[in-house]
C-alpha cells in the first residue's frame, strides 16, 4: 500500500459511488491529471491499492499528488465532456493532449445577425454563429474564402446592420464584390438566400449549390433579368471548375468520417478524412503528446473526446481502425452518428487510406526533427489567446534592468514586431533618479525607465506597443503599472515574466498564469526577455568600461577631453595606452616625448599591478636655437 498524503486520505473515505471527474493536484495546487470514472470511489482508491499495476508515468504522478478534487455529474456522458473541458483548461502534464488544438482557424458565418458576415477566427464562442473547420490546411481555408468572396459577394464591412448604415457604399460595391445591402441595393431576403448558399457550400455540398444557382439563373432568364442571369452563369462556371478535380469515391454514397491512426514510440498521429456524397472533401490531422506508456486505445479515445465531440459538423458514419474502452459512452454523446469498426470491404479500404495518410504525416514529423508546423504557427496569435487580450499583440516591448554592485544602473527596451526583433526601436537608458550611494532599487529604476519611455512616445505621437512585458515578478509589475498610471495608460495590456518558474503575472490577478513549457507563446516571451537582458547587460558593461577608463585618465594632469579621445581612439583601451611607448604616444597631435613619458609614468603609478615607475632620467629639453 502506497503512503497516502494526509489531505487525500481524508477525502478517500467520503468519495461518492457515482459518475464523476477527479483532478490530482500537486503541493502548489497545479493540476497534474484529469480523469473520469463511472464510479468515483473505486476508481480513485485504485491508485493506492497494493495490487494496482501502473506505468512509470502514473507512478510519478501519484508520487507528486498532494491533493484531490472530485466533481460529481449525472452520467458518464457528462463526465466525458467535463473531462475534455478540464483538460483543455488546465493542460495537465500527465494527460494525453492535442498539440496546440486551439491554434487552428475556423471560418465563421454570423448567421445570428440580420446581414451575416464571413471571416476567419481562432476562437469558438457559443454565440449562435456557424463555425466551419478547424482547418489544419490554411491554404484550403483561404481557397474556400476566396470562392465565397468571388461568387457570393458577402459584405466585408463591420457595420452592425441595419442599426448602423453608412451614407455611401464602399469600394467593394463599385467593383461588384458586394451588392450594397448597406445602401438598400440588395434586399434582406436576397442577402439571406445568398448566405444560405454560403453555408451549404462551406458544408461541402457543392452540388447542392450548383443546383440552386441553376434554378435561380433559369428564373432570372424567364423574368428577362439578363444581367442577373449572366452573373449567376459566371458563378456557376466557377463552381463547376471547383468540382472538376474533386476525388470521387464510390463507397455506396454516404456521409462518412474516416479515422486513421499511426504511432512511433512517444509520437502519435491521428487523421480524419471527410467524405460527403461519395466525395473526398478534405483531410485533417492532429499530433498527440504525452502518449508514452499509454495503449493505442487510450490515445485514440483521448483524440475523439478532445476533437470529435466538439466538432460543428459530423458525418452519419464514423469509421474507426480499432475499438476503445469508452466507445459506448462516446456513441451516446454523438447522437445521429453511427460508430463502425470495419474489418473488410470498401469501408476497410477507407480505413487503410486514412492510416496511410497518418503514417506519411508522422514520418514527415519524425524526419523534420522539430515540432509540427501547427506548433510553430504564429506565436503572436497564441500569445493573445493565452493572455485573453482583445487585440492581437503584433507589437510588444520588453523592459529589463541591469546594475553592477549598485553602480552603472541602466535599463533596456527591446521592441518585437510580429514575433521578430525590430532593432531600430531598441532603446537603452541610464537611470537618473536612483542614488547609487544608497544601493540599487530595482523597482524605482523600472518605474523611471517605463515612465520615460512612454512619456517620450506620447510626446512624439509615436504608436504604442500592443503589449508591455516586464522582466521580473509582482514588484516590477507594480512599479511599471504605477508609471503607466501617471501617464493615463493604466489600462494598457501589461504583464511580467518571472524567470524562476516562468510565471506570467498580470495586474489585478493574484494567481500567476503558467503557459505550457513548449508553447510558442511562452517561447516568444522568453525570446523577448532574453533579448532585453542581453541588451541591458551589454549597455551596463559598456558604461562600466567607459567609467573605468575615463576615471583613470582623469587622474592624469594635463590630459583633457580632446587628448582622452585621441588616446582611446588610437590605442583602443586603457591597457593599450599603458603598453604604449613614449615615442608612439608622441606621434599623436599635441604630444611630445617628454609629456608622453610623464603621462605613462602617472598612469602606471595609478595601477597597483603595474611594474614600478621607470627610474630612467628624463629626456633633456633641447636648448632653443638662437639664430
Per-residue pLDDT at 313 = 74
Question: 126-129 long-range CB contacts below 8 Å, 24 or more apart?
Answer: none
Neighbours of 54 (CB within 10 A): 15
Q: Which residue has the cell 489600462?
A: 491
Tell me: pLDDT of 284 over 50: yes
Residue 439 and residue 405: Cα distance in Å, rounded?
Answer: 8
Residue 302 and residue 34: Cα distance in Å, rounded?
Answer: 12
255-368 architecture in CATH? 2-Layer Sandwich (3.30)
- In this prediction, residues 525-537 reach a mean pLDDT of 91
**Worst-scoring range by mean pLDDT, 48-57, 392-401, 535-544, 569-578?**
48-57
Q: What are phi and psi of 530, to 5 degrees?
A: -65, -35
Angle at 360 between CA 300 and CA 366, to 5 degrees: 85
Q: How far is CA 626 from CA 119, 620, 621, 622, 623, in A?
A: 96, 18, 15, 12, 9
Residue 12 and residue 24: Cα distance in Å, rounded?
Answer: 13
Q: Name the pLDDT band for 371 (thresholds 50, 70, 90).
A: very low
Tell me: pLDDT of 468 over 60: yes
HEC-encoded secondary structure of 574-585: HHHHHCCCHHHH
Tell me: pLDDT of 497 over 70: yes
Residue 611 and residue 606: Cα distance in Å, rounded?
Answer: 11
Q: Name the pLDDT band for 94 (thresholds 50, 70, 90).
A: confident
The most confident of the ranges 202-211, 376-385, 454-463 is 454-463
Per-residue pLDDT at 514 = 86
Tell me: pLDDT of 177 over 50: yes
Neighbours of 622 (CB within 10 A): 6
Q: Which three cell numbers stand for residue 308?
A: 470529435
User: Where in the chain do CATH 3.30.420.340 domains reside?
Assistant: 381-536
Tell me: pLDDT of 535 over 80: yes
Rg (CA), the chain: 35
User: Where in the chain do CATH 1.10.150.20 domains reside?
Assistant: 555-605
Higher pLDDT, 594 or 267: 594
Per-residue pLDDT at 136 = 61
- In this prediction, residues 574-582 reach a mean pLDDT of 80
Residue 564 and residue 590: Cα distance in Å, rounded?
Answer: 12
The H or E element containing residue 64 is helix 56-64
Higher pLDDT, 89 or 396: 396
Residue 373: which residues within 8 A CB-CB, separation 6 or more? none
Residue 332 and residue 346: Cα distance in Å, rounded?
Answer: 26
Tell me: pLDDT of 63 over 90: no
Per-residue model confidence as pLDDT tens digits over 6-40: 888 888 878 888 899 999 998 888 899 999 988 99
Provide the Cα torsion 258, 263, 268, 274; round to 10°: -10
What average pLDDT is seen over the chain?
80
Q: Name the pLDDT band for 374 (thresholds 50, 70, 90).
A: very low
Q: Name the pLDDT band for 546 (thresholds 50, 70, 90).
A: low
The most confident of the ranges 205-214, 448-457, 504-513 is 448-457
Q: Which three cell numbers stand for residue 503?
A: 510565471
Per-residue pLDDT at 368 = 57
Alpha helices in 108-246 (DSSP H): 138-152, 171-174, 188-202, 206-222, 226-243
- Domain 381-536 matching CATH 3.30.420.340: the answer reads yes
Residue 274 and residue 254: Cα distance in Å, rounded?
Answer: 11
Q: Is the dihedral of CA 84, 87, 93, 99 positive or negative?
A: positive
Per-residue pLDDT at 450 = 94
Instruction: Give 414's Cβ-side CA count (13 Å radius).
Output: 27
CATH class of 6-95: alpha beta
Tell me: pLDDT of 206 over 90: no
Instruction: Give 513's Cβ-side CA count (13 Å radius).
Output: 20
159-186 in b/e form (b: 16+ CB < 10 A) is eebeeeeeeebbebbeeeebbbbbeeeb
Tell me: pLDDT of 606 over 80: no
Per-residue pLDDT at 367 = 64
User: Where in the chain do CATH 3.30.420.10 domains reside?
Assistant: 255-368
Q: Which three cell numbers stand for residue 531?
A: 533579448
- Concatenated DSSP letters for 117-146? -EEEES----SS-EEE---S-HHHHHHHHH
3-state secondary structure of 288: strand
Higher pLDDT, 457 or 55: 457
Per-residue pLDDT at 375 = 41
- In this prediction, residues 228-254 reach a mean pLDDT of 62
Cβ-contact 41, 17 below 8 angstroms: yes
**Worst-scoring range by mean pLDDT, 69-78, 308-317, 371-380?**
371-380
Tell me: pLDDT of 613 over 70: no
3-state secondary structure of 110: coil
Per-residue pLDDT at 48 = 80
The H or E element containing residue 339 is strand 338-340
Q: How many residues does the chain have?
A: 627
Q: How far is CA 564 from CA 146, 372, 540, 572, in A?
A: 66, 57, 21, 11
Neighbours of 91 (CB within 10 A): 16
Region at 515 (left for phi over 0; alpha for psi -120 to 50; beta for the rest): beta
Report the percent of the chain where pLDDT is more than 70.
Answer: 81
CA 150 to chain centre: 32
Q: Which residue has the cell 453608412?
A: 166
Q: Which three cell numbers stand for residue 403?
A: 546594475
**Worst-scoring range by mean pLDDT, 191-200, 452-461, 547-556?**
547-556
Tell me: pLDDT of 102 over 50: no
Residue 240 and residue 207: Cα distance in Å, rounded?
Answer: 9
3-state secondary structure of 402: strand
For domain 555-605, give the fold. Answer: DNA polymerase; domain 1 (1.10.150)
- Concatenated DSSP letters for 512-531? -EE--TT-HHHHHHHHHHHH
Residue 627 and residue 607: Cα distance in Å, rounded?
Answer: 45
- Concatenated DSSP letters for 536-600? HHHHHHHHHHHHHHHHHHHTSTT--HHHHHHHHHHH-SHHHHHTS-HHHHHTSTT--HHHHHHHH
Tell me: pLDDT of 555 over 80: no
Q: Which three cell numbers stand for residue 17?
A: 459511488
Crossing angle of helices 226-243/206-222, nearest 10°?
160
Per-residue pLDDT at 526 = 92
Q: Name the pLDDT band for 476 (thresholds 50, 70, 90).
A: very high
Amino acid at each position: 500500500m502506497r503512503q497516502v498524503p494526509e489531505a487525500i486520505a481524508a477525502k478517500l473515505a467520503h468519495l461518492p459511488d457515482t459518475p464523476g471527474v477527479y483532478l490530482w493536484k500537486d503541493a502548489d495546487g497545479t493540476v497534474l491529471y484529469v480523469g473520469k470514472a463511472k464510479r468515483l470511489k473505486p476508481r480513485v482508491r485504485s491508485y493506492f491499492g497494493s495490487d494496482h499495476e501502473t506505468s512509470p508515468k502514473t507512478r510519478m504522478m501519484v508520487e507528486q499528488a498532494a491533493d484531490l478534487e472530485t466533481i460529481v455529474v449525472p452520467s458518464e456522458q457528462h463526465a466525458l465532456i467535463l473531462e475534455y473541458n478540464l483538460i483543455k483548461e488546465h493542460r495537465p502534464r500527465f494527460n494525453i493532449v492535442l498539440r496546440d488544438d486551439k491554434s487552428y482557424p475556423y471560418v465563421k458565418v454570423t448567421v445570428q445577425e440580420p446581414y451575416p458576415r464571413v471571416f476567419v477566427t481562432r476562437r469558438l464562442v457559443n454565440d449562435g454563429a456557424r463555425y466551419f473547420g478547424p482547418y489544419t490546411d490554411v491554404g484550403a481555408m483561404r481557397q474556400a474564402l476566396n470562392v465565397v468572396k468571388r461568387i457570393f459577394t458577402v459584405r466585408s464591412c463591420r457595420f452592425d446592420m441595419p442599426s448602423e448604415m453608412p451614407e455611401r457604399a464602399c469600394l467593394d460595391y463599385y467593383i461588384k464584390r458586394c451588392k450594397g445591402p448597406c445602401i438598400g441595393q440588395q434586399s434582406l431576403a436576397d442577402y439571406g438566400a445568398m448566405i444560405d448558399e454560403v453555408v451549404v457550400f462551406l458544408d461541402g455540398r457543392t452540388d447542392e449549390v450548383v443546383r440552386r444557382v441553376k434554378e435561380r439563373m433559369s428564373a432570372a432568364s424567364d423574368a428577362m433579368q439578363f444581367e442577373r442571369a449572366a452573373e449567376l452563369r459566371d458563378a456557376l462556371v466557377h463552381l463547376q471548375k471547383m468540382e472538376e478535380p474533386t476525388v470521387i469515391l464510390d463507397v455506396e454514397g454516404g456521409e462518412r468520417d474516416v479515422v486513421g491512426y499511426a504511432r512511433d514510440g512517444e509520437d502519435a498521429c491521428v487523421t480524419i478524412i471527410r467524405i460527403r456524397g461519395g466525395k473526398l472533401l478534405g483531410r485533417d490531422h492532429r499530433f498527440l503528446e504525452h502518449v508514452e506508456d499509454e495503449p493505442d486505445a487510450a490515445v485514440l479515445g483521448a483524440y475523439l473526446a478532445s476533437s470529435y465531440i466538439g466538432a460543428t459538423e459530423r458525418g452519419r458514419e464514423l469509421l474507426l481502425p480499432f475499438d476503445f474502452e469508452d466507445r459506448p459512452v462516446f456513441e451516446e454523446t454523438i447522437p445521429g452518428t453511427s460508430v463502425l469498426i470495419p474489418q473488410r470491404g470498401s469501408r476497410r479500404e477507407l480505413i487503410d487510406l486514412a492510416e496511410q495518410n497518418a503514417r506519411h504525416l508522422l514520418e514527415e514529423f519524425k524526419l523534420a526533427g522539430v515540432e509540427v508546423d501547427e506548433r510553430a504557427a504564429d506565436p503572436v496569435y497564441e500569445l493573445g489567446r493565452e493572455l485573453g487580450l482583445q487585440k492581437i499583440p503584433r507589437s510588444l516591448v520588453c523592459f529589463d534592468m541591469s546594475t553592477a554592485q549598485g553602480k552603472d544602473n541602466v535599463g533596456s527596451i527591446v521592441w518585437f514586431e510580429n514575433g521578430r526583433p525590430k532593432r531600430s526601436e531598441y532603446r537603452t537608458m541610464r537611470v537618473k533618479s536612483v542614488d547609487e550611494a544608497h544601493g540599487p532599487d530595482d523597482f524605482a529604476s523600472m518605474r523611471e525607465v517605463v515612465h520615460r519611455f512612454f512619456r517620450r512616445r506620447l510626446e512624439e505621437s509615436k504608436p504604442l506597443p500592443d503589449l508591455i512585458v516586464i522582466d521580473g515578478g509582482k514588484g516590477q509589475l507594480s512599479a511599471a503599472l504605477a508609471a503607466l498610471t501617471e501617464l493615463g495608460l493604466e489600462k494598457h495590456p501589461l504583464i511580467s515574466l518571472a524567470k524562476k518558474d516562468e510565471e506570467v503575472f498580470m495586474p489585478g490577478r493574484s494567481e500567476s498564469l503558467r503557459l505550457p513549457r513548449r508553447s510558442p507563446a511562452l517561447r516568444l516571451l522568453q525570446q523577448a526577455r532574453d533579448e532585453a537582458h542581453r541588451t541591458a547587460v551589454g549597455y551596463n558593461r559598456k558604461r562600466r568600461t567607459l567609467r573605468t577608463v575615463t576615471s583613470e585618465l582623469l587622474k592624469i594632469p594635463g590630459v583633457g577631453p580632446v587628448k582622452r579621445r585621441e588616446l582611446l581612439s588610437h590605442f583602443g583601451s586603457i591597457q593599450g595606452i599603458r603598453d604604449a611607448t613614449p615615442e608612439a604616444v608622441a606621434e599623436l597631435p599635441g604630444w611630445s616625448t617628454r609629456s608622453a613619458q610623464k603621462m605613462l609614468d602617472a598612469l602606471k603609478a595609478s595601477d597597483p599591478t603595474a611594474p614600478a615607475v621607470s627610474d630612467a632620467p628624463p629626456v633633456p629639453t633641447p636648448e632653443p636655437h638662437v639664430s
